[in-house]
Amino acid sequence: MAWYDKACILANLSLRLGRTLEWDHARGAVVGDDEANHLLRRPYRAPWVHPEPADFRFDARAHRAITGGKVVVSSRPGSKFSAFDGALRGRTLFTVPGRLIVQAWRSSHWKPSDVDSTLILSFSAQGRSGRIDLVHVNVAEQDYRGVSEGWKKYYWRPWRKYLAGR
């Protein structure tokens, strides 16, 4: 993961805690700060279980069963991914297991000169259920509508159907 991706996440955490944080990339944890590490990975309240919605994003078989599209994906920072037979591709920038996924992302409809977009998915408990928040920035102008509709058609509706059947 690039330094600026880590910096954004850790800067927000540092601001929230009101202190400087030291990140150990090899361990994927804040050095000597149990509270900061706890905030990166909070336990869920019953009946919410930790944290299948995020797990399936890195399980190619489960992802295909839910979305219907072929995927190659890993949670390892820097690893490449592709989905829907290569229509989407990019790399995983950062993950907090069960809580956060950050990816550099682009569609096959984009021009070579278009910059990669940044996708952030965060997973949290909300009452007796869960919540998935999505932020997707720098989507190529010519594919904005297609990407927006694609999220609804290929992810949100299938996720809801999958989770409702559990």
Residue 54 — pLDDT band, cuts 50, 70, 90?
Answer: very low
Tell me the range of 76-85, 113-122, 127-136 where mean pLDDT is highest. Answer: 113-122
Paired tokens of 95 = 């993950």
State pLDDT tens for residues 128-163.
677 888 899 999 999 999 999 988 998 888 888 877
CB burial of residue 151 (10 Å; 0-12, 13-18, 19+)? middle
Q: Please give the model's pTM, rounded to 2 decimal places.
A: 0.64
Q: Span 29-33, mean pLDDT?
A: 85
Domains recognised in the chain with CATH numbers: 1-40 (no CATH), 46-164 (3.30.530.20)
**b/e per residue 115-131 (b: at least 16 CB within 10 A):** ebbbbbbebebeeeebe
Lowest-confidence region among 4-13, 19-28, 95-104, 145-154: 4-13
Q: What confidence score (pLDDT) does residue 41 get?
A: 64
User: Which pLDDT score, from 0 to 100, does residue 159 have?
Assistant: 80
